[in-house]
Amino acid sequence: MKKSAVLLAAIATLGMSSASFADGALDTGKSCVGSTVAMVVDVPQGVVVNTLYKCPYKATKSLAEAFGDENGWKQNIVGAVFGVPAGAVFGVPYGVVKGGQHAMSVGWDKPFSKEAFIVSNESK
C-alpha cells in the first residue's frame, strides 16, 4: 500500500510539472525532471519560509501601519500579537503556491542549479 502511494505521488508530481509547460515542446527530459525535483524540494521549503518568517513579518508590519505608526513599539507589539498567528496560518497555503511557482519557473529554466532549490532568495 505504501509503495503504491509513493508511486502515485511521484506520478502526480511529474504530471504537474510537465503539464505546466505544455505550450512549448519539451526540450529535454532534463528540464522536466529538474522541475519535478525542484517541486519536491521547493514546496516544503516555501511552506517553512512563508509560515515562519515572511507572512508573519508582513502581517505584523501591515497591522502596525494600520494602527498608526509602522515604527512605533506599541503598534508593533499589538501587530505581532495578531499578525504572527494570522501570518503563520496564511503562510502554509501561500508557501505551497509560491514554492510550486518557483519550482516550475526556475526548475524548468535552470534545472538542478542552486537557484532552483532556494526559495528564500525571492523578492519579498
The count of C-alpha atoms lying within 13 angstroms of the C-alpha of 65, restricted to the half-sphere facing its C-beta, is: 6
Q: What is the pLDDT of residue 29?
A: 72
Q: What predicted TM-score, i.e. pTM, was given to this entire model?
A: 0.68
Task: Round to whole Å and give the CA distance between 107 and 84.
Answer: 31
Query: Would the pLDDT of 37 be above 90?
Result: no
The predicted model gives 103-121 an average pLDDT of: 79
Q: Average pLDDT of the chain?
A: 80
Where do the domains of the chain lie?
2-117
Nine cell digits for residue 36: 519535478
Does 73 have pLDDT greater than 80?
A: yes
Per-residue model confidence as pLDDT tens digits over 87-105: 999 999 999 999 888 888 8
